[in-house]
């Protein structure tokens, strides 16, 4: 796809303010509204997608061809549309999931008059057999297995696309740009490419944009949320401020938030977020470049303000990562709560009875796993010993390929209320639900196989 860019950056170009108001589908609904209301921003990015999310959206689209996108997105745009127009704020989001066109139509219905552009080309589910025919084995990056091992169970397949197609969509003059499975940091990098005219060989600048995007891609996780350092003293988490990147044409940037909002931005919190899912920090591979996170220099330059500079980058990889999901069996989890005295002993007896009854029924599973909440569910054997807990929730989970066996398990825990140890409670929602297991298969596809295109939806 031919890319269109503005003239090269000059020293007279002002910085741009890029805010991220969603770190995942299910994040705080008020965050984007507060970012638009709370002070000046030029771009609002919204990151909705995770690997398993794509399979959920694909199943929704199979049931209804008008679904397959983040349904929180259109009403949000309708809610803030007037202020987007008034303040000339552009929105860049991956809310399109596996159906960006339908998402765009829903946005236009919720906010008539906005110009909406979509980026297409990441969905490669219909092309799996084509790739196999060309000899691409699409081996699992972690295990080395060829994709033929799961071919008949694939639910979704999407290539991670980069920021340049998103920048091309912005270049149409769109108020809202909707993508499917793009790289998370590409949402933030795209406005820099569009505004500053960076090209594919501006490796250091692109890498700086990737690092900045990575810092704010999880929303408030870099502004005090989920913070491990001095978390008790994070101010006003109920009104936490979501992060804003102030990007300069030379690739330097500052991370900040709106004045008067809760949370805290400092180099400690930024460093925590930098470690999130990066693998080799010297070679963080993205569709647009390879970034060296170790070259970044961070400096606290004021309250709730951290400056980043010095990022080095290299040429983009020849391969693109593909996020593939597939059906991997069935699972169910049941819980009961036992109270003091002898809460843990009762929970352990309940587990033993359940396993014995499953064995007597001849039921076999790939795995049975038991957790004791309030004792060791989070940290397992590393948990601090608790000898006489006040109450314990026991959760027993099974997984396997036989759906009938998993369904039969769901009928075995509630009877313990009358046939097991005394004091069982917490069964008000009835027997647990059998759920499909969706597993993740990361693979690589030659970059040249992925052709993106931009469409303006009217």
What tens digit of pLDDT does each residue of 141-189 get? 999 999 999 999 999 899 999 999 999 999 999 999 999 999 999 999 9
Please provide the distance, in angstroms rounded to a whole number, between the alpha carbons at the two ends of the chain: 22
Band (56; pLDDT cuts 50, 70, 90): confident
Whether residue 1 is contained in a domain is answered as: no
Both 57 and 188 in one domain: the answer is yes
- Containing domain of residue 441, as a range? 131-159+319-458
Both 71 and 190 in one domain: the answer is yes
Both 303 and 372 in one domain: the answer is no
pLDDT digits (tens, 9 = 90+) for 267-311: 999 999 999 988 899 999 999 999 999 999 999 999 999 999 999
Residue 27 in tokens: 């994040």
Both 115 and 183 in one domain: the answer is yes
Place of tokens 């490419």: 193
Residues 6 or more apart in contact with residue 54 via CB below 8 angstroms:
97, 98, 156, 158, 181, 323, 325
- Residue 387 pLDDT > 90, yes or no? no
Both 181 and 66 in one domain: the answer is yes
Both 81 and 190 in one domain: the answer is yes
Both 136 and 116 in one domain: the answer is no
Both 407 and 308 in one domain: the answer is no
Whether residue 7 is contained in a domain is answered as: no
Whether residue 339 is contained in a domain is answered as: yes
Output the pLDDT for position 224: 95
Sign of the four-CA dihedral 158, 164, 168, 171? positive
Distance CA 158, CA 323 (A): 5
Q: DSSP letter at 226?
A: T
When comparing pLDDT for 420 and 6, which is higher?
420
Distance CA 220, CA 193 (A): 24
Whether residue 11 is contained in a domain is answered as: no
User: Of 300, 317, 334, at which residue does a domain stop?
Assistant: 317
Both 147 and 219 in one domain: the answer is no
- Residue 33 pLDDT > 70, yes or no? yes
pLDDT digits (tens, 9 = 90+) for 338-377: 999 999 999 999 999 999 999 999 999 999 999 999 998 9
Both 23 and 172 in one domain: the answer is yes
The mean of the pLDDT values for the chain is 94
Both 71 and 105 in one domain: the answer is yes
3-class SS of residue 102: helix
Distance CA 318, CA 341 (A): 62
pLDDT digits (tens, 9 = 90+) for 402-454: 999 999 999 999 999 999 999 999 887 889 999 999 899 999 999 999 999 99
Residues 6 or more apart in contact with residue 182 via CB below 8 angstroms:
94, 119, 122, 160, 161, 162, 163, 165, 166, 287
Both 354 and 302 in one domain: the answer is no
Place of tokens 């297995």: 145
Number of domains observed in the structure of the chain: 2
**24 close to 217: Cβ distance less than 8 angstroms:** no
**55 close to 155: Cβ distance less than 8 angstroms:** yes
Give the E-state strand segments of 277-346 in sequence order: 284-285, 290-292, 297-302, 305-309, 312-314, 319-339
Model pTM score: 0.92
């Amino acid at each position: 796809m031919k890319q269109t860019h503005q003239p090269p950056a000059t020293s007279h170009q002002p910085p741009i303010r890029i805010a991220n108001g969603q770190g995942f589908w299910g994040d705080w609904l008020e965050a984007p509204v507060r970012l638009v209301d709370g002070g000046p921003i030029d771009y609002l990015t919204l990151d909705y997608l995770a690997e398993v999310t794509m399979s959920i959206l694909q199943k929704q689209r199979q049931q209804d061809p008008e679904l397959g996108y983040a349904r929180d997105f259109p009403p949000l745009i309708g809610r803030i549309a007037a202020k987007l127009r008034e303040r000339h704020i552009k929105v860049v989001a991956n809310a399109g999931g596996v159906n960006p066109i339908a998402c765009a139509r829903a946005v236009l219905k919720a906010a008539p008059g906005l110009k909406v552009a979509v980026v297409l080309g990441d969905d490669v589910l219909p092309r799996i057999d084509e790739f196999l025919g060309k000899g691409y084995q699409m081996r699992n990056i972690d295990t080395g297995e060829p994709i033929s091992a799961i071919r008949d169970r694939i639910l979704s397949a999407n290539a991670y696309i980069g920021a340049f197609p998103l920048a091309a969509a912005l270049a149409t003059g769109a108020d809202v740009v909707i993508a499917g499975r793009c790289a998370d940091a590409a949402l933030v990098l795209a406005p820099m490419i569009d505004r500053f005219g960076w090209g594919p060989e501006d490796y250091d600048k692109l890498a700086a944009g990737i690092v900045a995007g990575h810092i704010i891609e999880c929303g408030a996780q870099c502004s005090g949320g989920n913070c491990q350092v001095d978390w008790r003293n994070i101010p006003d988490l109920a009104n936490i401020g979501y992060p804003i990147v102030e990007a300069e044409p030379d690739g330097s940037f500052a991370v900040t938030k709106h004045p008067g909002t809760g949370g805290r931005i400092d180099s400690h919190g930024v460093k925590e977020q930098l470690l999130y899912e990066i693998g080799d920090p010297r070679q963080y591979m993205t569709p647009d470049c390879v970034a060296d996170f170790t070259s970044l220099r961070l400096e606290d330059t004021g309250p709730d303000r951290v400056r980043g500079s010095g990022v080095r980058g290299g040429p983009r990889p020849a391969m693109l990562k593909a996020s593939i999901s597939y059906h991997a069996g069935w699972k169910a989890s049941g819980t009961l709560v036992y109270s003091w005295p002898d809460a843990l002993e009762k929970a352990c007896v309940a587990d033993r009875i359940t396993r014995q009854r499953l064995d007597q029924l001849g039921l076999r599973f790939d795995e049975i796993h038991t957790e004791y909440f309030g004792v060791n569910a989070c940290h397992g054997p590393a948990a601090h010993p608790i000898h006489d807990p006040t109450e314990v929730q026991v959760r027993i989970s099974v997984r396997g390929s036989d759906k009938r066996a998993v369904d039969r398990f769901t009928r075995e825990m509630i009877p313990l209320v009358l046939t097991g140890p005394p004091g069982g409670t917490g069964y008000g929602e009835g027997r647990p639900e059998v759920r499909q297991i969706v597993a993740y298969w990361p693979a690589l596809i030659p970059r040249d196989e992925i052709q993106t295109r931009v469409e303006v939806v009217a």
